[in-house]
Structure 1
Amino acid sequence: KEAGIVFSEVEPEGVDMPFGSTSGAGVIFGVTGGVTEAVIRRISDDKSVAALKSIAFTGVRGLEGVKEAVIPFNGRNVNIAIVSGLKNADELVKKIQSGEKQYDFIEVMACPGGCICGAGQPVTDSEGKKRRSAGLYEADRMSNIKRSEENPVIMALYGGLLKGKIHKLLHVDYQKGSEKHDDNQGMHR
């Protein structure tokens, strides 16, 4: 309002590149379970449309605070936990520390339901959260690019500007007592 912008009068337009090209896997990062689903898509040997559809029914989708799934991969079962909400994350950590639970892969979203239900979003009820989630899955369904690694803009960045620098620029390691760290938080690149 202070800048004189009336949002109802703003004409929709495309997002500036390179941010305008997304994959369906990237879109669903905003809902709890979306990161896990994107990872499963990435590691799956079967790249067919049927395989993509079957991933949706592995137990990774839904707004529940804690979800578990078992995914076959490379001849073994991968135990997965998906948690949204820090209270649920804390409870899961306690179960892991006590030995009650063991996982190979854990997704944690601080906001219950994922980013679509977070503090940066307008307050809504449970039906609104379901509609937001459904909207992301619909955008994924409509996307021509289903896997993150198939996004041509990302591939061009990886092969050009970021070539040889990907790990240094895009990855962070957390190590307790590390000699290489920022602000004594154990984080280093």
Structure 2
Amino acid sequence: MSLIRPMFVFFFLIFCITASAQTQQAAPDTLFTQKDTAYWVYNFRQFRDAVYQGDKEKAKAYVELPISGKNSEIWYLAYGLNSAASKEKAFTEADFYKYFNRIFGKEFINCILKIKTEELYKTGEYTTIEFEDSLASKSYGMIATWRKPDNTLMLNMLSRTVYVEDGNEQVGEFAVIYIFEVTKKGHIKLKSVALAG
């Protein structure tokens, strides 16, 4: 009985010293840094497949809805480049379903299917082949750019149309730019659409 009390005190002291030593260790002052993730490439492939298959529900997961009309020209694309398009009205989920095929048309699908994602990931840019549409006297292609510093993926669909005006051959150029945000977790979200030309 006389040995139990000193042993109990001894083990209690060992426990207290060990607990004290563990709490006194300083936690390292390292900040969490985002790992370079290629998960956005997987997300991009999933988006590409959804658009190709016409799966509006799956494609919607990669679009930040509603899209503000003030910061995007998506309405011009939805209305077939009609100048009557509203820049004030937000582009909603119902609008996405209604105008899906105008926003992601045949030319967009042809181009996005030709993007080599591994090269885009490694170099930050990929240019597709140029497609020819002889019926419309038109050629088109896409430049995909991943800007790592600001986590932006841009799909710049370029088209060139040849037409005759006053007996002279003229060339008109036009671009539709799809701007995606790459989130910290590697998800892609279409934030806006811009037009040029």
Q: TM-score of the superposition, structure 1-length normalised?
A: 0.24
- Whichever structure has more strand as a proportion of its residues is 2
Greater RCO structure (CA 8 Å; 6+ sep): 1
Max radius of gyration: which structure? 2
Q: TM-score of the superposition, structure 2-length normalised?
A: 0.23
